Amino acid sequence: MKHTPELASRMAKTLDYEEMLGCMRCGFCLPTCPTYIRSKDESASPRGRIAIMKGVVDGLIEPDDGVEKTLNECLGCLACEPACPAGVRYSVLLEDARAAITAHKRATGQMDVRERVIRKVVFDGLFLNKSKMQTATSFLRFYQQSGAQTLTRKLRILDWFPDQLQKMEAILPAVPARTERVRRPDRVRATGTTTARVAFFSGCLMDTMFYETNANTIKLLQAAGCDIVIPESQQCCGALHGHAGEQPGAVVLAKRNIEAFESLDVDFVITNAGGCGAFLLGYDHLLHDDPAWKDRAERFTAKIKDFAQVLIEVGFLDRVTLTLPDQLITYQDSCHLRNVQKGALAPRVLLQAIRGTTFVEQQHADHCCGSAGVYNLLQPRIANDILEMKMGHVRDTAAQTIVTSNPGCHLQMQLGIQEHGTPSMRAVHLADLLAEAMDPR
C-alpha cells in the first residue's frame, strides 16, 4: 500500500481520537492477546496496535503495508476489552481503521485485481444476497452428494489448492437439501405453557451449512416454552463485512435486519452463533451517525440474547431432563459470546446439568482457538500455531467431547482434532449436544 497523506487524513476522520487516548498503555491486555502471547511482539498487542493507529493519525507513522499487515493479523477476539480498566473499545478502533484502509485502497486504485474480484464475489455477491448464499450452498451439497467430492479426492485435484483450503474441505459439514430448509415454518409454537415470545436470528452459514444446529436450537426453545418467529426477510448479520473493512455492506445488512425484526412483538431476538450475536449488538455503533436509524438500532440491540442465556432465564432446566452416556465434556468459549455478549456462564450451567457426563474446565478456555471468522484461511500460519496450543489444553482435560457455541469455532476445533486430537474426540455445537441429551436416539 502506497503511503499518501490522504490515507492518514481518512483515518483521522474515521477513528475516534478520544477512544485512542483512553488507552493508558497499562499492559493489562497483554496476557489476554493470542497474537502477543505467541510472538511477544509489542506491535502484535492491542495497546501496540492502538499506538500504531494513533501514530498514523498524528502523522508520526506512515500508513504503509506494515501498518495494514499488523492490523490484519489481529484476530479480533476482543479478549482485551474485558481486561481493559479504562474500558477502551478496541473493536471500534480496529474495524474503523480497517474500513478506512479498505476505502482508501479502493478509491486510489491500490487494491489489486485479485483482491477486488474476491471482495466483489464474496461481499457483494454471496453475503449481501441471501438467495445467492443459498444457491452456493446448494452447489456445495451437489459436490458432496453427487460423487464429485469422492472423485476430486481420488484424483488429488485438491493438491492444486492451498494446504489450508484442503484441510477445511475435509471437515465441512454435510449440507442439507434446500427443500428441507424451505419447509420450515416461520412461526413455531411452544411446547406446553408459554414462557416467552422470541424471534430467531437464523443467520446465513448457520441456516445453510449448519441447518441442523438451527433446527435443534428451535427445538430447545420450544421445549423451554418459547413461541418462536423466524422472519423470512432477515439477512446475514454483516460480521464478515465489518471485520474485513467493508462497512458500507455491513450498514446495508444492518438496516435490512432491523427492518425484518423491529415490527415483531417479541421479548428477545435469539442467536446461536457467538460471532453473529456480537456483531448484531454492534449495530448501535454502526448506525450511530445516522439520525434516521440510531434509535431503531438501539431498540434492536437491546433485545439480542444468546439462546443459552434465554434457556436459563425461562426455566428450561426445570422443564427438561438432560441425559447422555458417560463421557468427559469440555467447553471452548466463543470469543465474541464471552467477551462481547458476556455469555460465559450459561453454556457451562447447561453442560453441568447433563446427567451421566462429567464437565472438565479447560485451561485457557477463554483464549481464541484461531478461527476468528475467516482468519484461519487468511492467516493460516498464526491460526495453526494458536490451534496447536489450544489442542494441548484440550488433551490435558482427556475430554471426548469438545463443545462450542459458534460455527467457526466448531470447524476450527474439528480441524484441531484432525491435526492434533485422538480418534475418540468429537466437536459439537452446544445446541446439538443439548438436543441429543434431551432426546436420545
Report the pLDDT value the prediction gives residue 37, as an integer from 0 to 100. Answer: 94
Domain edge (last residue) among 249, 271, 306: 306
Together in a domain, 328 and 406: yes
Together in a domain, 267 and 383: no
What grid cell was written down for 317? 432446566
Together in a domain, 328 and 426: yes
The residues, ordered by sequence, that sit 6+ positions from 324 with a Cβ below 8 Å of its Cβ are: 354, 355, 356, 357, 433, 436, 437, 440
How far is the C-alpha of 50 from the C-alpha of 43, rounded, in Å?
A: 9
Together in a domain, 219 and 295: yes
Domain edge (last residue) among 282, 306, 330: 306
Nearest to 229 by CA among 303, 166, 319, 126: 303
Q: Which amino acid appears at position 305 of this protein?
A: K
How far is the C-alpha of 279 from the C-alpha of 30, rounded, in Å?
A: 24
Nearest to 200 by CA among 129, 134, 261, 275: 261
114 occurs within a structural domain:
no
User: Going residue by residue through the chain (441 aa), what tens digit of pLDDT does each one get?
Assistant: 555 667 888 888 889 999 999 999 999 999 999 999 999 999 999 999 999 999 999 988 888 888 999 999 999 999 999 999 999 999 999 999 999 999 988 888 888 888 888 888 888 888 888 888 888 888 888 888 888 888 888 888 888 888 888 888 888 888 888 777 778 889 999 999 999 999 999 998 898 889 999 999 999 999 999 999 999 999 999 999 999 999 999 999 999 999 999 999 999 999 999 999 999 999 999 999 999 999 999 999 999 999 999 999 999 999 999 999 999 999 999 999 999 999 999 999 999 999 999 999 999 999 999 998 888 888 989 999 999 999 999 999 999 999 999 999 999 999 999 999 888 999 999 999 999 999 654
Nearest to 158 by CA among 143, 139, 175: 143
Report the pLDDT value the prediction gives residue 335, as an integer from 0 to 100. Answer: 95
Together in a domain, 145 and 98: no
Q: Which amino acid appears at position 426 of this protein?
A: R
How far is the C-alpha of 136 from the C-alpha of 133, rounded, in Å?
A: 5
Nearest to 230 by CA among 201, 251, 254, 208: 201
162 occurs within a structural domain:
yes
Together in a domain, 297 and 183: yes
Domain edge (last residue) among 150, 171, 192: 171
313 occurs within a structural domain:
no
Burial class (CB in 10 A: 0-12, 13-18, 19+), 112: exposed
Domain at 60, CATH number: 1.10.1060.10
How far is the C-alpha of 166 from the C-alpha of 171, rounded, in Å?
A: 9
Together in a domain, 334 and 368: yes
314 occurs within a structural domain:
no
CA distances from 353 to 227, 244, 273, 357 (A): 24, 39, 21, 9
Judging by DSSP bridges, how do beta strands 226-229 and 187-188 pair with one another? antiparallel
315 occurs within a structural domain:
no
How many domains does the chain fold into?
A: 4
Judging by DSSP bridges, how do beta strands 401-404 and 323-331 pair with one another? parallel
Report the pLDDT value the prediction gives residue 3, as an integer from 0 to 100. Answer: 54
Together in a domain, 389 and 358: yes
328 occurs within a structural domain:
yes
3-state secondary structure of 326: strand
Nearest to 398 by CA among 324, 327, 323: 327
Report the pLDDT value the prediction gives residue 441, as an integer from 0 to 100. Answer: 45
Together in a domain, 405 and 349: yes
3-state secondary structure of 210: coil
426 occurs within a structural domain:
yes
What grid cell was written down for 212? 441442523
**Total-model pTM:** 0.93
264 occurs within a structural domain:
yes
The answer to whether 371 touches 408, Cβ cutoff 8 Å, is yes
Report the pLDDT value the prediction gives residue 1, as an integer from 0 to 100. Answer: 56
Together in a domain, 190 and 283: yes
Together in a domain, 73 and 145: no
Neighbours of 142 (CB within 10 A): 13
How far is the C-alpha of 35 from the C-alpha of 334, rounded, in Å?
A: 17
Helices 294-301 and 247-261, packing angle to 10 deg: 70
Give the up-direction half-sphere exposure of residue 323: CA atoms within 13 A in the CB hemisphere. 4
Together in a domain, 247 and 347: no
Report the pLDDT value the prediction gives residue 137, as an integer from 0 to 100. Answer: 85
How far is the C-alpha of 278 from the C-alpha of 75, rounded, in Å?
A: 15
The helix (run of H) or strand (run of E) holding residue 239 is helix 239-243
What grid cell was written down for 102? 479498505
State which residues form the domain around 433: 321-438
How far is the C-alpha of 238 from the C-alpha of 104, rounded, in Å?
A: 21
User: How many helices (DSSP H) and strands (DSSP E) are in the chain?
Assistant: 26, 9
How far is the C-alpha of 64 from the C-alpha of 317, rounded, in Å?
A: 54
